[in-house]
Amino acid sequence: MKQDNIINLVRKNIKSLKPYQSARRIGGKGDVFLNANESPVPVFFSIKNKKWNRYPEGQPKNLIAAYSAFVNIHSNNILVTRGADEGIELLIKAFCEPGKDIIICCPPTYDMYHITADIAGVEIKKIPTKKNTWQLDLLNIKLNLKQVKLIYICNPNNPTGTIISKKDIIDLLDITLGKSLIIVDEAYIEFSLENSMVNDLKNHKNLVILRTLSKAFSLAGIRCGFLLANKDVIDILHKVISPYPISIPVSDIAYQALQKKSLIAMNNRVLEINANRIWFSNQLKIFSCVEKIFDSSANYILVKFHMCEKLFTELWNSGIILRNQNQKIYLQNCIRISIGTRTECVRVISEIKKFCLQKNILV
């Protein structure tokens, strides 16, 4: 064994860890990036506060007040985080004893639940959704609740776009009260706000909701999210969050994004993306290489293709970067496509059309 071998110092679970395949890590030399469900159009803010010699407030009061007004939830029930991803991590830090407690997630879903648990050395049980409907397999979840502290549910689910049955979530909240927290990740909820569970917070002490400014708010670059929960949960999380997670420029921009004019603009972007999604999926329907288009309530759609890998690579080479979901449970031959501007949608459609025509001629 070499004496200077740093690798030997690494924790065992980190050595074997496969890190999250973030959009920036995957790369690609594209000009149409539809692989991270970002907003295709930037929003512009200038930073008002220009003095940065002092540490920021740990939990900026004016920002929390602004989000409180937006969701109509008391400030005591809100924690500002460095993106929703930090919320996922803080809950595990505060509630899960490594080697003892267990987390449940329901694939196909967002990868960061199991990756964050893996990093923390906390066991994660994957209880796949029901095939075809992608709804929770409640029966199976109920059989596996022993020692489970956290259950992560993504709604609308990434990457399927599915709305998870509210009745099922409420059922789960009821039977796990006092034993587990149910975390509903609402990263995309602005695209289908009527499905939010914000109004259920007051009746369910074990409900936690994750929100972000990264998607509908068009601010993935600033890293800002919110965790909504009953006050006991928030107070516990105050103990484990880093002292200054939100920098002054971030809270400055986030605050402006939550003012009336910005909220109206956000709503208009949501309407436009939702209209684009419908247009896009109608266009896709006619192609021979499209096997199935799944209903989505978010700013992306999941599509099953014939010759999925070939199509993915061909589009990649033409500068259109999508997200291949082929490796995930139930998602063989599926690609997730973020909804871009109409121009971007048109471009994707024309490349897919080109591909289908070529292949039909060749077959």
Ligand X SMILES: *Cc1c(COP(=O)(O)O)cnc(C)c1O
Per CB under 6 A, residues contacting ligand X are: 37, 83-85, 110, 154, 158, 185, 187, 212, 214, 220, 225
Q: Tell me whether residue 258 or residue 311 sits nearer to ligand X (CB atom).
A: 258
The rounded distance, in Å, linking the Cα atoms of 104 and 183 is 10
Q: Tell me whether residue 73 or residue 352 sits nearer to ligand X (CB atom).
A: 73
Q: Tell me whether residue 143 or residue 329 sits nearer to ligand X (CB atom).
A: 329
Q: Tell me whether residue 138 or residue 220 sits nearer to ligand X (CB atom).
A: 220
Q: How far is the CB of 161 from ligand X (least distance, A)?
A: 11
Residue of minimal CB distance from ligand X?
A: 83
Exposure string for 134-156, b = 16+ CB within 10 A, e = fewer: bbbbbeebeeebeebbbbbbbbb
Q: How far is the CB of 225 from ligand X (least distance, A)?
A: 4
To the nearest 10°, the Cα dihedral for 130, 307, 311, 323?
Answer: 20
Number of helices and strands (H, E) in the chain?
Answer: 12, 13
Q: Tell me whether residue 154 or residue 315 sits nearer to ligand X (CB atom).
A: 154
Cβ atoms 340, 34 nearer than 8 A: yes
Q: How far is the CB of 326 from ligand X (least distance, A)?
A: 18
Peptide bond just before 128 cis, omega within 30 deg: no
Structure tokens at 316: 């990649």
Place of tokens 């399927």: 160
Q: How far is the CB of 50 from ligand X (least distance, A)?
A: 26
Q: How far is the CB of 191 from ligand X (least distance, A)?
A: 12
Q: How far is the CB of 325 from ligand X (least distance, A)?
A: 13
User: Over the Cα atoms of the chain, what is R_g?
Assistant: 21
Q: Tell me whether residue 229 or residue 352 sits nearer to ligand X (CB atom).
A: 229
Structure tokens at 208: 């936690």
CA neighbor of 95 nearest in space, from 238, 233, 202, 225: 233
Q: Tell me whether residue 86 or residue 344 sits nearer to ligand X (CB atom).
A: 86
CA neighbor of 117 nearest in space, from 142, 82, 152, 145: 152
Cβ atoms 222, 247 nearer than 8 A: no
Q: How far is the CB of 84 from ligand X (least distance, A)?
A: 4
